Amino acid sequence: MDGMDLTCGHFVNPFTDIGFKIIFGQPASKELLITLLNELLAGEHHIENLIFLDKENHSDSMADAGIIYDLYCLTDTGEYIIVEMQNRFHSSFLDRTLFYMCRAIGRQVENLREKRRKERELKMGKPDEEEEDDFLLREPMQENYGARYRLSTVYGIFLMNFREPGLEEKFRTDTVIADRENGKVVNPHFRQIFLQFPYFTKELKDCKTLYDKLIYTLKNMQHWNRMPDALKEQVFNRLEELAAVANLSMEDRIAYDKALDRYRVSRIVEEDAREAGWKKGLEEGRAKGRSEGRAEGRAEGRAEGRAEGRAEGRAEGRAEGRAEGRAEGRAEGRAEEKIAIARNLKSLGLTTAQIVQATGLTEEEIINEL
């Protein structure tokens, strides 16, 4: 496959599900994840601490079963963050991201006791037992009814190794719930950030910020044998340590190898489909081009034929006119010459019959002209 490198490098491939979780989804990765999130949310929010939540959405409803986030965490200030790495396109991806967001928001109200317990755990830095007040949340008092629906912000951060037709052709797309007319944010608690990696085209020399360097590294590290010298920040030393294939446990290595095989197969299938689509499009384009070419050729031929016909007609007309004019001129000149000769002969005393014989003029022409 032209341009597609499927070899296994020194570092894990972050576009595989297990590779991404190895880099960002284990307790040892927390500081690295916080750095990435703070760069993504720079100017909007700053995270000091977070805890990893159960990535599987346990539900009493069969319809909600099977939702498993790549990463799901709670910040020290109460925001929920979903991080998803999606390697390949599928037709309902944007709908899926919306569903994930809505479930995370809905569970805040449904599991208010769990939410309060996790918030206390973050503040104390250790697991927390249920308090008696938590049970009061099951049956809210009338005056506390509105507070039950007070929501924490949910961030959905979706890293995509493909181009999504439903989004603009750019690397980063941020969405909020806003007034359609004036753009004013209506509710700040629903935030989605889509990162389409194929549109990130900067070279390392052009990456001036830590944010750009992190994105560049995630996109390219699977092909490296070591971190480039230009990546001097401490965070890349930690990333190098976490992502090295040689540092994986036996369990993680087996899981990663399987994930890498799935990744390679998916890329080959996509490349084959892309090539087949390209060939089909090329053939359709050629057929359409030939058809349009014939039509244009016929039209241009008619137009050129008419133009050339007019030009040739004008040229021939001029030529014929000149030829006819010369012939007529010569004939008129000869007739005038004969008359002049006839006048001279008559002045010499020749008879009309003699002049007719000498010039070829008729008697009538001689009488009329002389």
Query: What average pLDDT is seen over the chain?
Result: 80
Half-sphere exposure of 229 toward its Cβ, with a 13 Å CA cutoff? 0
Report which of residues 18 and 1 the model is more confident about: 18
Q: CB–CB of 5/223 below 8 Å?
A: yes
- 244: pLDDT confidence band, cut at 50, 70 and 90? very high
Residue pointed to by tokens 């910040």: 75
Q: To the nearest whole percent, how much of the chain has pLDDT over 90?
A: 39
Nearest-angstrom CA–CA distance, 158 and 93: 10
Q: Identity (one letter) of the amino acid at 284?
A: E
Provide the greatest CA pair distance for the chain. Answer: 159
Give the total residue count for the chain: 370
Residue with the larger pLDDT of the pair 317 and 13 = 13
In whole angstroms, give the CA distance from residue 127 to residue 235: 28
Q: pLDDT by residue (tens digit) across 77-105?
A: 989 999 999 988 888 999 999 999 999 98
Average pLDDT over residues 64-69: 64
pTM score of the predicted model: 0.65
pLDDT in tens, 274-326: 667 666 666 776 777 677 767 776 777 677 777 776 777 777 777 777 777 67
Q: What is the DSSP string of 204-268?
A: GGG--SHHHHHHHHHHHGGG-SS--TT--SHHHHHHHHHHBGGGS-HHHHHHHHHHHHHHHHHHH
Characterize the bridge pairing of strands 154-160 and 185-196. Answer: parallel
More confident residue, 143 or 358: 358
Q: What is the mean pLDDT of residues 38-55?
A: 90
CA 140 remoteness from chain centre: 49
Q: Are 196 and 170 in contact (CB under 8 A)?
A: yes
Is the model's pLDDT at 239 over the cut of 90?
yes
- CA-CA-CA-CA torsion sign (186, 40, 34, 162): positive
Encode pLDDT of 331-367 as tens digits. Answer: 666 777 777 777 777 777 777 777 777 677 787 777 7
CA nearest to 51, candidates 69, 70, 77: 77
154 contacts 193 by C-beta, under 8 angstroms: no
Q: Which of 21, 16, 50, 58 is nearest to 34 (CA)?
A: 50
pLDDT at residue 69 in the model: 84
| Interatomic CA distance for residues 30 and 76, integer angstroms | 13
- Would you state the pLDDT for residue 268? 74
**Neighbouring C-beta atoms of residue 119, cutoff 10 Å:** 17
Nearest to 71 by CA among 132, 133, 159: 159
Inter-residue long-range contacts of 181-189, CB under 8 Å, 24+ positions, other chains counted: 188/153, 189/105, 189/151, 189/152, 189/153, 189/154
Q: Tens digits of per-residue pLDDT, 178-219?
A: 999 999 999 989 999 999 999 999 999 999 999 999 999 999
Q: Tell me how far apart the alpha carbons of residues 257 and 12 are, in angstroms, rounded to a whole number.
A: 10
- Look at residue 54 and give its three-state secondary structure: coil
